[in-house]
Amino acid sequence: MISLYHVTKVFKHKGEFRYIAKDVSFTIPRGESIGLIGRNGAGKSTLLKLISGTIKPTSGQIIRRANVSFPLGFQGSFNPSLTGEQNVRFVARIYGQDTEDLVHYVQDFSELEKAYYMPVKAYSSGMKARLAFGVSMGINFDYYLVDEITAVGDKNFQKKCRQVFQEKLQSSDIIMVSHSTAALKDYCTTGIVLEDGQLTYFPNIDDAIRMHDENMARR
Amino acid sequence: MTYVYSKTLTDSVRQQISIIFALIVREMTTRYGTKFGGYMWAVLDPVLFIAILTTVFSAIAHVPPLGRSFLLFFATGYASFYIYRSTADQVASAVEANRALLNYPVVRPFDAIISRVLLQAATLFVVNLLLFGTISIFVEFGQLRMGPILTASAIGLTLGAGVGISNIVWFHLSSTYQHIWGVINRPAFMVSGVFFLPESIPIPYREILMWNPLVHLVGIFRMGFYPTYRASYVNLPYVIGLAVFSVVFGLFLVWLFDARLREPK
């Protein structure tokens, strides 16, 4: 369970305040996969980072009674001068996983072949995303935080991702940021629309998408 | 597979240790790249610098202010100064250098700081062993006194860590301050007693010099190598107090600005 209590996140830029969340209280229950929807710059990724704990709210509190993944995105958190394999080793260590197991799992999953033993700075963004995806799938989290990453690689790889994800969904939930309506409908059952620092929860993802479309039409 | 989320104290301590270990390993593999020698340069760098420094200065001066060996006099001065200086520099960039890794929520700025301090302590230990081991081939030491040597090293590490930790926050908040700090600190080793003894400085200036904790630090360190050297100007409570205060103050700043530190400049 992840609970937000009176969470406010505000960025100040050139004297102007931009609210990502304004006094938001909300509990994300277990057993639901949530799509986060909002216009560009609404703060979806920031909200995901808040939930994961990599950044802190300006005020309020976020309590995680679950094992929450790191935000899974294109940019990745990899050290560019280390090889893919060394980066995986690092993640295995900090999450207390068996190093060799995870290294092998990711090697199989990512299909990076020789590139697995090359520095990450030589990777394309697609390769980085494969590595990131492999790493997080190799660790069992209660919540997977996914930031626009489902469209990684070719058709076959996407198929494999979907398959692994479906397996994960038996025991884990995902919170996903995406602009792709199809991806949202595929993975998520419920939705949250983020607009002007307000969160609106919809028990049905279709309603959330409709609300978002209305928002977009309005402005 | 569902599991109840609960974490015991032992679990979190174990996780903390493995995070710090992982950061140290990462640092050792990346700090000097994957090219020839790799981490070895972290050790060789100061050793080579001291060698050059000593060669140059023994050509300029005739008699060292203490003992008979230029090499030992400059090495003791610079090595003790370097303990403080390198720690302060390394720790100050600890968070910035590990910024990408803060994307993992389990890694906190605090972990980056701890791992840098530990790695720096280990590196300096090897550096000094190598340095004075080499020097002992050329210069005959008297009886070494480990008490003052270890005391000075501990103070240098602590003070360096404290200054570095505070600077993590200040550098993050203001790049102007970072430039000013760099300029002010460039001549620091000119006024820290690396090349001279504070006893040789005339009175009004000597008192000003005594405010510099590094002068005390160098003095204590030298007491370990020169059995007859008293360094009566050393004010132990002052330097130890300052070192401890700097760490407490630095950690307080990191705690206070934790949210800001997690975001890019």
Q: Does B12 reach chain A within 8 Å, measured CB to CB?
A: no
B106-120 tens-digit pLDDT: 888 999 999 999 999
Q: Mutate which of B17, B23, B26, B108 to test chain A, going by most A C-beta atoms within 10 A?
A: B26
Give the separation between CA B50 and CA B74, rounded to whole angstroms.
Answer: 8
* CATH code of the domain in which A20 resides: 3.40.50.300
Give the separation between CA A45 and CA A55, rounded to whole angstroms.
Answer: 11
DSSP one-letter string for B155-186: HHHHHHHHHHHHHHHHHHH-HHHHHHHHHHHG
User: Domain residues of chain B, as ranges?
Assistant: 9-262
Helix then strand then coil, in percent of chain B rounded to 5, is: 75, 0, 25
Classify the C-alpha dihedral B212-B214-B216-B222 as positive or negative. Answer: negative
Q: Which residue has the tokens 């001549």?
A: B187
Can you give the residue range of the structural domain that contains A57?
2-218
Tell me the pairing of strands A59-64 and A173-177: unpaired
Q: Reply yes or no on whether the pLDDT at B3 is more than 50.
A: no
Q: Reply yes or no on whether the pLDDT at B8 is more than 80.
A: no
Q: Does B29 reach chain A within 8 Å, measured CB to CB?
A: yes
Half-sphere CA count of A138, side-chain side, radius 13 A: 27
Instruction: Note whether B105 contacts A93, CB cutoff 8 Å.
Output: no
Percentage of residues of chain B with pLDDT beyond 90: 45
- Chain A residues near residue B19 by CB distance under 8 angstroms: 93-94
B12-24 tens-digit pLDDT: 888 889 999 999 9
A23-52 tens-digit pLDDT: 888 888 888 889 998 888 788 888 888 888
Instruction: Note whether B103 contacts A71, CB cutoff 8 Å.
Output: yes
From residue A218, alpha-carbon distances to A39, A142, A195 in Å are 12, 37, 12
Q: Does A124 reach chain B within 8 Å, measured CB to CB?
A: no
- Per-residue pLDDT, averaged over A83-98, amounts to 90
Give the separation between CA A46 and CA A57, rounded to whole angstroms.
Answer: 10
Pairs across A and B, CB distance < 8 A: 69
Q: At what angle do helices B146-173 and B70-92 cross, to 10 degrees?
A: 40
Instruction: Note whether A55 contacts B263, CB cutoff 8 Å.
Output: yes
Prediction ipTM score:
0.81
Backbone angles phi, psi at A64, to 5 degrees: -110, 115
Instruction: Please count the structural domains in chain A.
Output: 1
pLDDT interval class at B1 (50, 70, 90): very low
- Per-residue pLDDT, averaged over A179-190, amounts to 84
Q: Hey, which residues 64-123 in chain B have their CB within 8 Å of chain A?
A: 100-107
Q: Reply yes or no on whether the pLDDT at A75 is more than 70.
A: no
Give the separation between CA A161 and CA A157, rounded to whole angstroms.
Answer: 6
Give the separation between CA B78 and CA B76, rounded to whole angstroms.
Answer: 6
- Chain A residues near residue B34 by CB distance under 8 angstroms: 81, 119
Percentage of residues of chain B with pLDDT beyond 70: 95
| Min Cα–Cα distance to chain A from B2, Å | 6
pLDDT interval class at B220 (50, 70, 90): very high
Nearest to A32, CA basis, from A213, A203, A211: A203
Give the separation between CA B198 and CA B191, rounded to whole angstroms.
Answer: 9
CA A39 and chain centroid, separation = 17
Helix then strand then coil, in percent of chain A rounded to 5, is: 40, 30, 30
Using only the alpha carbons of chain B, give its radius of gyration: 20
pTM of the model: 0.85
A165-178 tens-digit pLDDT: 888 888 888 898 88
Q: Reply yes or no on whether the pLDDT at A60 is more than 70.
A: yes
Residue type, B251: L
pLDDT interval class at A150 (50, 70, 90): low
Give the separation between CA A66 and CA B227, rounded to whole angstroms.
Answer: 60
Query: Helix, strand, or coil here: A53?
Result: coil
